[in-house]
Chain A
Amino acid sequence: MKKLILTFALSFLWISLSMASDPAFEKAMKKQIIAMDQIANAEQSKEVANGFLRIAEAKSEEWLPLYYAGLIHIEAAFRFEVNKDQYLDQALEYIDKAEKLAPANSEVTALKGYAIMGKISLDPASRGQNLSPQAMQLFGKAINLDRENPRALYLMAQMEYGMAQFFGSGTDKACGMVRLSLEQFEKEESIITEDYILPKWGKRSAQQMMNNCN
């Protein structure tokens, strides 16, 4: 009996170690992710980004907190009255750091493309020529790294859509792509649990875009 209990306890310990190597990290991440979904102004955005940066500081081998700090800065540039260029540059700085920790990561690559898309949107006439191919290339690379990454598909669709509109050409390709991304978002949702801390944003925006397609 003793042995059985010991084995059970040990194996339980082993499982919990392998599942969540660092519960404190996950707990801190979850707290910030919940806070992230409730950001309503620039100050809150700063607070939550700072939260992620504290985690990044303490766990210098993790790419995820830097990823989220980057994401928050990009979203803030789109949503709030801030120095948009400065926020996007800052986002790119965090993303570059994340890239060093997790090279060839589909999510990080797609996020970098998202930041560059933000840079383009601030001055399309003069930046479009130079940066559009860069953003497209990053989205393409992100898709190649993980064909099931819904965010890479959605962002690529977004870019295609904008360009199709500009040139008055058909949006079929863009719409096909956003449909693919929605399929992947559905698939992703089925594996999302309460403990899921990997990127899962973007479904709502993809659905909005899909509405324009129909």
Chain B
Amino acid sequence: MRTLSIFIFLFLSLSTISFSQTKISGKVLDEKKKGLPGVNVLIKGSYDGSTSKDDGSFEFETDEEGPQVLVFQLMGFKSIEIAIHCEGNAIQIPDQILVEAITEMNAVTISAGAMEASDEKKSVILRPLDIVTTPSAMGDIVGAFQTLPGTSTVGNDGRLFVRGGDASEVGIYIDGMRVGNAYGSTAGNVPTRTRFNPNLFKGTFFSTGGYSAEYGQALSSALALNTKDLSIRSQGDLSIMSVGGGYAHTLSSEKQSLTFSANYFDLKPYQSLVKQNFDWERAPNGWDIELSAQKKLAKGGLWKILARTESGGMEIWQPEPGQEGRGQLIRLRNKYSFAQSNWKNAFENGWTLFAGAALSSNFDDIRIDSIRLERKNQLAHGKFTATKDFSDRLSMNTGIEYFNHQFDESLVDLNFSRDYVDHQFYFFTEWDYYLNKNLVFRAGLRAGQSSLNKEQWLDPRASLAYKISESSQVSFAAGSFSQMPVENLRVLNQTLKNTESNHLILNYLLQKEGITFRAEGFYKGYENLVVFEGYPQSPQNPTNLGKGYAQGVDIFFRDRKSIKNTDYWITYSFVDSKRQFDQFQSEVQPSFAPKHNFSVVAKHFILDLKSQLGISFSMNDGYPYHNPNDGEEMSSKTESFQSLSFSWSYLPRPNLIIHFGVNNVLGRENVFGYRFAQQANSQGVFESIPSGQVAPRFLFLGIFLTLSKDKNANQLNNL
């Protein structure tokens, strides 16, 4: 019996032994010496602790004894630990100051020149969905960016023109890998589109200047498209459109996903129904197949593949100024392939590594009447980058790149051909330093070397951003940019040097809930532009003797909250640009750089109709053109360009979208310039033909259906 009582005694005493309690109190302050509430104060390894009050004070008791570690934690602040000794007496902790950590959430970001479309990050200008739903874009990525500041619409070209720069001055990247011939091949003033479907991408980064040292071979702009990560569901997507159709199938599991798609388009049936301005022999048509795959690797890496091949063509009669009849017959066949693979892994120790390889291959077979021209352009790109956050203040992005560029053009019947191969090597490094969360400096350097013209060059770049208040900031960027001349000039003179530009940009950005206001001023100087003798169709003796400038201001305002279910943005860009380039003898305003550019996009969601209505309006003050009847170069200007577009997206069921769109609803006869006869007629006048629109309007109707075996099939699908 005694044993039992001993046991009972032991048990009881065990649970009632009371250690001496130590009372701990103190105060936590922020950097401005103000009380910091909500701080978790705890004794490491125990459950004892408390939360600081509004004035930053805290107080608690602990049973722990001896030397202990007191920890102070608050989300967004750097934790601190101090040693204490608990021995039953009350401890008064001296005031502790918590320093705010610099995180992606609270730190200023450099916004000079940059416009980001993303769901994930802050300081975005567009959401990925906006690209698909901008009425004037008709589902083209670049079409949506043409409603953003710093761009101008050139309706008979379709490509992206940034701040007085030619379309070739925009570098397009997918997952950091350069894309060659990103636009479809075209002929005879038929506008082109981006080859890639916007649904491939989760986010885009569009810069109108002063961009990162990671990007080169682009004088004016970088457009970086980032592909989606793992698809989360197996599904089929069927599209039936007024211009064609397609099917995409996605297979997905926890660790990997794969999408295969095939599309076909032909504008012939459409063109037989809707009146065309152009004289088509064969309407544009083509097909593409595409494969994309994503795989999560064991150690947290992600491996992506994107491969695409396509073929298309068109035949068009182009009337000649001053001549009777249908004019020249231009026939175009194009074959294009793009493949890239990349791997990225963010390691626990703060290093992120990226490796990628890409190949773009383009083949054009162009026949102008009886002349047959073949052009092959191939770009291979290899890239390796390492980024590292040394602390929350200092980070680095460094990489090496290799490009292999092959170009070949031949006049088939004349047995004449010319070509070049260029090997380019690059090294870049860029460093970000946060002085505090409101002020960041960035310095970068890009070094390049070309085997063809034996040139070596260095492009330094720098920028900074300062947060003025919680919702506003200013950024400044400066840098130099180099780009090899376009292929058809380079092949004529293989010693042509880089063309060069220097950017200066001052940006102000205000972002409040639902409101974005952005104003940017810029100056861009051009050096070593290529000038040649003869006509753009047949240039001769190109040299690097051209130069020029572009300067201006652009303003962007977006409001997603003032009007219910409505989102609209307004853009105005002013560009004053003159340059001596191509065949021009003096500095002139280029045809692709209208002075005043204005656009509005508005989208309104009507819940009862399950519909989104969109409207967009673009205008500029007219395109300069050269009239040989007038002595001065580029001294004439077209009428103002104006276009109103409308779209209606209807979602009757979660897996069904019906989209209807019309471009240039009012049917305005826009003219982008004039083509003049090369010889004056008998009266001594150069006759001309306006370069206008393919058709007064473009109508689009599409039905997009998603099929999924998933038992949760009735859910919102990716558009």
A residues sitting closer than 8 Å to B (CB atoms) are 1-2, 5-6, 9, 24-25, 28, 43, 46-47, 50-51, 53-55, 57-58, 86, 89-90, 125-134, 136-137, 140, 156, 160, 163-164, 166-169, 173
Once bound together, how far apart are the Cα atoms of A127 and B202, in whole Å?
12
Some 30 contacts from A to B, beta carbons below 8 A apart, are A5-B4, A24-B47, A25-B47, A43-B38, A46-B51, A50-B38, A50-B40, A50-B51, A51-B49, A54-B42, A54-B47, A54-B48, A58-B45, A58-B46, A86-B76, A126-B119, A126-B130, A127-B119, A130-B119, A130-B128, A130-B718, A133-B233, A136-B715, A163-B654, A166-B607, A167-B610, A167-B651, A167-B652, A168-B610, A169-B653
**Is the Cβ of A43 less than 8 Å from the Cβ of B37?**
yes
Residue of A nearest to B653 (CB): A167
B715 touches A163 (CB 8 A): yes
Partner of B714, one of A51, A126, A173: A173
B129 within 8 A of A: yes
Is B538 interfacial (CB-CB < 8 Å)? no
- The chain B residue sitting closest to A65, CB to CB, is B47
> Which of A2, A46, A133 is close to B3, meaning CB atoms less than 8 Å apart?
A2
- Residues 90-126 of B contacting A (Cβ, < 8 Å): 105, 119
Q: What's the Cα separation between A169 and B714 when bound, in Å?
A: 10
With both chains docked as a complex, state the minimum distance between the C-beta of A96 and any C-beta of chain B, in angstroms: 12
Interface flag for B486 (CB, 8 Å): no
Judge whether A167 and B654 touch: CB under 8 Å: yes
> Given contacts A2-B3, A58-B45, A125-B605, are A134 and B714 in contact (CB under 8 A)?
no
**A57 engages B714 (CB within 8 Å):** no
Q: Is the C-beta of B666 less than 8 angstroms from some C-beta in chain A?
A: no
CB distance from A48 to the nearest CB of B (A): 9
- Which residues of A lie under 8 Å from residue B54 when comparing CB positions? 43
In the complex with contacts A126-B127, A130-B119, A46-B38 CB distance below 8 A: yes
Nearest 5 A/B pairs, CB to CB: A50-B40, A28-B47, A126-B127, A132-B716, A47-B51
Instruction: Please give, as numbers and ranges, the residues of chain A lying within 8 Å of B718 by CB-CB distance.
Output: 129-130, 133
Q: Can you name the residue of chain A whose Cβ is closest to the Cβ of B612?
A: A125
**B46 and chain A: residue at smallest CB distance:** A58
Q: Which residues of A contact B40 (CB under 8 A)?
A: 50, 53-54
Complex: A54 Cα to B58 Cα, angstroms: 15
- Chain B residues near A86 (CB, 8 Å)? 75-76, 105
Q: Tell me, yes or no, whether B689 is within 8 Å of chain A by CB.
A: no
Interface 0/1 of B600-643, CB less than 8 Å to A: 00000101001000000000000000000000000000000000
- Shortest A57–chain B CB gap in Å is 6
Known: A2-B3, A167-B653. A129 touches B716 (CB 8 A): yes
**CA A33 to CA B660, docked complex, whole Å:** 54
B241 to chain A, nearest CB (A): 20
Residues of chain A within 8 A of B716, CB atoms compared:
128-129, 132-133, 163
- B535 at interface, CB cutoff 8 A: no
Asked if B42 and A57 make an inter-chain contact with CB atoms under 8 angstroms apart, the answer reads: yes
Instruction: Tell me whether B4 and A57 are in contact (CB under 8 A).
Output: no
Q: Mark B9-52, 1 if CB is under 8 A from A, else 0.
A: 00000000000000000000000000001101010111111110
Q: Secondary structure of the B side of the interface?
A: loop
A168 and B609 alpha carbons, distance in the complex (Å): 10
Question: For residue B53, which residue of chain A has the nearest CB?
Answer: A43
- Taking beta carbons and an 8 Å cutoff, which residues of B are in contact with A? 1, 3-4, 7, 37-38, 40, 42, 44-51, 54, 71, 73, 75-76, 105, 119, 127-130, 202, 232-233, 567, 605, 607, 610, 651-654, 710-712, 714-719
Contacts of A25 in B (CB 8 A): 47
Cα distance A18–B49 when bound, in Å?
A: 28
Assembly CA distance A160 to B710 (angstroms): 14
16 more CB-based (< 8 A) A-B contacts, given A43-B37, A130-B119: A1-B1, A6-B3, A43-B54, A46-B37, A54-B49, A58-B46, A86-B75, A86-B105, A125-B129, A126-B130, A129-B718, A133-B232, A133-B233, A136-B715, A167-B610, A173-B714
Q: Which residues of A lie under 8 Å from residue B128 when comparing CB positions?
A: 130
User: Complex formed: what's the CA distance from A9 to B49 in Å?
Assistant: 35
Chain A neighbourhood of B651, CB < 8 A? 167
Closest to A46 in B: B38
* A55 (CB) vs chain B CBs: closest residue: B47
Query: Shortest CB–CB separation between residue B718 and chain A, in angstroms?
Result: 6
Which residues of B sit under 8 angstroms from A24, Cβ to Cβ?
Answer: 47
Q: In the complex, which residues of chain B have a beta carbon less than 8 angstroms from the beta carbon of A131?
A: 119
Contact of A132 among B44, B46, B715 (CB under 8 A): B715
Report whether B719 and A129 are in contact in the complex, using a CB–CB cutoff of 8 Å. Answer: yes
Q: List chain A residues, Cβ under 8 A from B714.
A: 160, 163-164, 167, 169, 173
Task: Note all chain A residues with C-beta closer than 8 A to B610.
Answer: 166-168
Report the separation of the CA atoms of residues A9 and B605 in the bound assembly, to the nearest whole angstrom: 71
Shortest distance from the beta carbon of B665 to any chain A beta carbon, whole Å: 25
CA distance A163 to B715 in the complex (A): 7
B residues near A160, Cβ cutoff 8 Å: 714
Q: What separation, in Å, do the CA atoms of A89 and B343 have in the docked complex?
A: 26
* Assembled-state Cα–Cα distance A6/B2 (Å): 12
CB distance from B197 to the nearest CB of A (A): 15
* Cβ-closest chain A residue relative to B718: A129
CA of A55 to CA of B40, assembled, Å:
11
In angstroms, Cα B129 to Cα A164, docked, is 22
- Nearest CB in chain A: distance from B436 CB, A: 19
CB distance from B133 to the nearest CB of A (A): 10
Question: Whole-angstrom distance between the alpha carbons of A51 and B48 in the complex?
Answer: 9
Nearest CB on A from B86, distance (A) = 16
Are B717 and A133 closer than 8 Å at their CB atoms? Answer: yes
How far, in whole Å, are A15 and B610 apart by their CA atoms in the complex? 61
A62–B128 Cα distance when bound, in Å, is: 39
Of chain A, the residue at the smallest CB distance from B719 is A129
Contact across chains for A134 and B232 when beta carbons are under 8 A apart: yes
Residues of A within 8 A of B105 (CB): 86, 89
Residues on B with beta carbons closer than 8 Å to the beta carbon of A140: 710-712
The distance in angstroms between the C-alpha atoms of A55 and B47, with both chains bound, is 5
Q: How far is the CB of A148 from chain B (nearest CB, A)?
A: 18
CA distance in complex: A163, B233 (Å): 18
Q: What residues of chain B lie closer than 8 Å to A43, measured between beta carbons? A: 37-38, 54
Question: Distance in Å from the Cβ of B610 to the closest Cβ of chain A?
Answer: 7
The interface residues of chain A lying within 8 Å CB-to-CB of B7 are 5, 9
* Residues of chain B within 8 A of A9, CB atoms compared: 7
Give complex CA distance A156, B715 in Å.
11
B233 touches A57 (CB 8 A): no
In angstroms, how far is the closest chain A Cβ from the Cβ of B299? 14
Nearest A-chain residue to B608, judged by Cβ: A168
A133 lies within 8 A of B48 (CB): no
A153 to B613, CA, bound (A): 35
Give B40's nearest chain A residue, CB to CB. Answer: A50
Bound CA–CA A6/B712 (angstroms)? 58
What is the CA–CA distance of A76 and B10 in the complex, to the nearest angstrom? Answer: 45
Contacts of B119 in A (CB 8 A): 126-127, 130-131
> Closest CB-CB distance, B253 to chain A, in whole Å?
12
Q: Which of A1, A90, A128 contacts B75 (CB 8 A)?
A: A90
